[in-house]
Amino acid sequence: MALNLSRNTKVYVSSANGVGATGGIRTATVTTAGSGHAVGDVITFAAGDTSGSGINAKVIVSAVGGSGAVSAVHIPNNFRGSGFANSETLTQGDANDSSGSGTGLVVTVASVAGTTTVDGTRIGTGLFKGNGTNANTFRVGVLDGYSFSQGSDATDVVINEAGATPNRGQKRFNDSLPPAEWSFSTYVRPYKHGTNSSGTDGTHSMCENILWAAIAGKDITGGALTGTSAAAVTLDSTDADVSFARSEHHELLKLSIFFALENTTYRLNECQVNQAEIDFSIDGIATIAWSGNSTTIDQITTAIEDPNTVFSTASGDSGGAYSANASINNAEAFNYVDTTGPDDADYLRNKLSTLTLTTAEQGSGASSGGLDSKTYDIAITGGSITIANNITYVTPETLGLIDKPIGSFSGARQISGSLTMYLNTTGSSGSGNGSNQLLADLAGATDLVRNSFDMSLFMGGGSSDTPIVEFDLPRAHLQVPTIEVADLISVGVEFAAHGSDITNADEMTVKYKGLTEHSDSTYTTNHTV
């Protein structure tokens, strides 16, 4: 019996489905062991080192015998190369081809991979790449309570007759598969790239990079895929910036999400991030609840499509065997960007969060039923921000077939949320305009059908602190606060973010500033082909 414990689940999010180019090495054997090698050495085979036309292949030495003779190698997915053929040999040119000092290794290709996923219905979109500027796969640390599922739509045909002995039978037909649903929560975790990292040294980033890229844009950027104008995430030495101005597309970034259970890996295809809810409850650690849909769910049966495995072969082994990534030289780093560990990034404590809230004069001022120019000094006790893309899926309805969704479309985006605060007649510092003044001002603005507040939430500290994440809503519309009666009287404020115009998507920007440097000696330039 091979049960799967949920607490041993790993989640990977990728812009690729994991199947590489035609002629990528699927299995291989060590045919000449060489000498002087050590476990962990990375051997690079140049174009002139192959007997055929294959290029860009590398292996990791995973086992050696006497005198450093290689007995087994590992081949991560982004080391498989392309253009290889069965029986093609790869011969190490000299010691310069190794990260160590060994020489004389020869590997023979036993089989190659194509460009189609295992079920033959989806074309492969690329290798898992976890290092360098073209990283496309991230391991995401999720909290307990994740879910993914796909049901089915059915039609019941019934007989409804009159008479003394009517027929009352029925039959059920499966019609289609509705979009699959998925959800999980992550911590809000900024960090900085170090000297050995997947991005440029000194730039800010976040563990949930790829998820922000998918909910707010069409491409990956900032240490990942570059060169497009539709990328929502940009990384530099000042901050990691998420802009919703790049989200004006019918279809946003499509992802593959892999749930690697203990004994089974499931892939959700063509995922869309439909909603993110940022929670800043006062007593907790900052989290984001992500949810969305996908067209289908596959069970991964071949290791080449699984970011949680690498190929392993020993000399004379024609079939090869697969093993967990972590078994040799932190091989996980070769297949994806791993930023889930406690030492890799910062956590944010919600109790340190601060709020700035200002308004310019609106509606000719309070004396005319509008608002005066004012700054409010308010300490919040909690709240949330919700980003919803309102994505819909399109599914055919063909008789005699079980149809699957063929695509999705983004709807009107809504950014809204709520704040809770004590009803305070003064500001949090003992002076200034507190929540009671905000309530009075909004209640008195009887001639103002729309209002605009510059609202910035600094999650995890003050505006000049690090680590911190800023949610900037320059034109937030606030509803009249509601009074909530408890031991201490509180106020709840609902808000919605507006763009500079109804046609502009600049309702909010998110800025991450990290403190802890993510640096790992296994993240070196020779990990990426």
Q: In the structure encoding, which two tokens stand for residue 181, read together?
A: 């649903």
pLDDT at 62 over 50: yes
Determine the residue type at 293.
N
CA-closest candidate to residue 42, choices 82, 70, 83? 70
Highest mean pLDDT among 16-25, 159-168, 195-204, 408-417: 408-417
Burial 56-76 (b: 16+ CB within 10 A, else e): bbbbbbbbbeeebbbbbbbbb
Check whether the bond before 342 is cis (ω within 30° of 0): no
Q: In the structure encoding, which two tokens stand for residue 381, read together?
A: 């006790």
Determine the residue type at 93.
G
Q: In the structure encoding, which two tokens stand for residue 46, read together?
A: 């140049």
CA-closest candidate to residue 97, choices 467, 526, 474, 393? 526
**Polymer length in residues for the chain:** 529
Residue 444: DSSP 8-state: H
Check if the beta carbon of residue 420 is closer than 8 Å to that of residue 490: yes
Q: What average pLDDT does this structure show over 184-210?
A: 88
pLDDT of residue 358: 95
Q: What average pLDDT does this structure show over 509-517?
A: 93
Identify which has the larger pLDDT, 114 or 68.
Answer: 68
Helix (H) or strand (E) holding 443: helix 435-444
pLDDT of residue 333: 59
Instruction: List pLDDT tens digits, range 81-104.
Output: 889 999 999 999 887 888 889 999
pLDDT of residue 416: 96
- Binning pLDDT at 50, 70 and 90, where does residue 429 land? confident
CA-closest candidate to residue 509, choices 250, 284, 239? 239
pLDDT at 324 over 70: no
pLDDT at 310 over 60: yes
CA-closest candidate to residue 465, choices 511, 422, 519, 517? 511
Check if the beta carbon of residue 139 is closer than 8 Å to that of residue 336: yes
Sign of CA dihedral 366, 371, 376, 380: positive
pLDDT of residue 311: 61
Check if the beta carbon of residue 12 is closer than 8 Å to that of residue 332: no
pLDDT of residue 334: 64
- Minimum mean pLDDT among 9-18, 416-425, 517-526: which range? 517-526
**Integer Cα distance of 53 and 472 in angstroms:** 53
3-state SS class at 328: coil
- Minimum mean pLDDT among 28-37, 53-62, 93-102, 423-432: which range? 423-432
3-state SS class at 354: strand
